[in-house]
Amino acid sequence: MTDYFHLNAAEDQLQSISSLGLAHLGDGVFELMVRSWLCLHGKATARNLHRATVTYVSAPAQAAALERIRPLLTGEEEAVFRRGRNAKPHAVPSAATREEYQTATGLEALFGWLYLRGETGRLNELFAAMMEG
């Protein structure tokens, strides 16, 4: 049985997943981390948890967060980010510029890639750096 909380995907598996597929997964990983952070740090009341979550997972917020961690990225992580950023989205939400949306997609692709590699320590390190800023 596959343990979906502790993955270690092979490199050929990772290469076969599209950038938008990585971003789709990374979006869920990032949102789960934000929700956990909000609950553990008492940053929002139960009634405002969704609104608080949205402030962190919106494309503009993710784009700003990426800029805080960009100097920390390894060459391989930067390549995954660029691959995700350069993916062609079907549409851009009205609350974000195209650049913000593409940057957010790159961040999500990076989080999806790290998750599939089982690099939870690195995910936590990057997430902590984003939330401290």
Q: Are 123 and 33 in contact (CB under 8 A)?
A: yes
Specify whether 12 is catalytic.
Answer: no
Report the alpha-carbon distance of residue 27 to residue 59 in Å, rounded.
10
Is the sign of the CA dihedral 17, 126, 124, 38 positive or negative? negative
Q: Are 108 and 33 in contact (CB under 8 A)?
A: no
Residues 6 or more apart from 45 whose CB is under 8 A from it?
none
Residue from 23, 25, 27, 111 carrying the catalytic annotation: 27
Helices (H) and strands (E) in the chain, counts: 7, 0
Give me the active site residues, please: 27
